[in-house]
Amino acid sequence: MDNLLQLAADPGAWAALAALFAMEVVLGLDNLVFIALLSNRIDEHRRRLARSLGLSLALLFRLAFLASASWVVRLREPIATVFGHAFSVRDLLLLAGGLFLVWKATTEIHHKVEPDDDADEAKTRAPLSLTAGLIQIIVIDIVFSVDNIITAVGMTDQFPIMVVAVVAAIGVMIAASGPLAAFINRNPTVLMLALSFLLMIGMTLIADGFGFHIERGYIYAAMFFSSLVEALNALARRKVRRPT
């Protein structure tokens, strides 16, 4: 208790909390976009439940990894060498998550570009079950949780600060997930843009898994610029449709 009071009275602790919270929110954008897209495939009456459960699971994973932060950091240690390149558990998780995102985004883009006509193919676009959706969310949650916690441990060694930042960031994501999913669902061009983001993020994870690190800032700058262009296009289309 005394330690918590000392942290509350320390301006440096508040600065660390603010920086860590901002980092968690920014790094959580990848996960948020994926959950928003995936929840739109689930039955309409269960979408909110899927988003809440998915992000609650993300919170549980992050808290569990925080509690064993020293073990998570050791996931960077090499466990195997293939063709002269040493792979760690973290690398393998990033590769698996990246391949999954690339497969998922490519499949969704294919169905949007070439809609299914056959009855057999149409069945593959049936609403996703809540269980199947949560399993896919868990896979991505684990990938992003490990990398986020490794980054958080590098920013501060105060466990209470990390816990508060993670809980607050997940709370913001839960509040934003519904409006984001609804916005993506209403705008087909935004949906395609979000799928392209997932494809880019997946390729980034694969590159990172092979040791080619790409700064997240470049990725988020590209996402922001693309979103800005799409917003301008939406305004232009609205102006054209407006009766004179």
- Contact 24/189 with Cβ under 8 angstroms? no
pLDDT tens string, the chain, 244 residues long: the values are 555 566 566 676 677 778 777 877 777 777 888 888 888 888 888 888 888 888 888 788 888 887 777 677 677 788 888 877 788 888 888 888 889 889 888 888 887 777 655 544 444 455 778 888 888 888 888 787 777 777 776 666 677 777 888 888 888 888 888 888 888 878 777 888 888 888 888 898 899 888 888 877 788 788 888 888 888 887 887 777 666 5
Q: By CB neighbour count within 10 A (0-12 exposed, 13-18 middle, 19+ buried), where does 105 fall?
A: buried
Its pTM stands at: 0.74
Tokens of 41: 């495939």
Helix (H, G, I), strand (E, B) or coil at 1: coil
- Cα separation, 5 vs 192, whole angstroms: 48
Measured CA to CA in angstroms, residue 116 lies from 38, 82, 108 at distances of: 19, 40, 12
9 — phi, psi (to 5°)? -95, 0
Can you read off the two tokens belonging to residue 67? 């509690």
User: Which amino acid is located at 227 in the chain?
Assistant: S
DSSP 155-210: H---HHHHHHHHHHHHHHHHHHHHHHHHHHHH-HHHHHHHHHHHHHHHHHHHHHHT
Give the single-character DSSP code of 82: E
Length of the chain: 244
Residue bearing tokens 């985004």 = 105
Q: Residue 38, Cβ neighbours under 10 Å: how many?
A: 24
Do 87 and 80 contact (CB within 8 A), yes or no?
A: yes
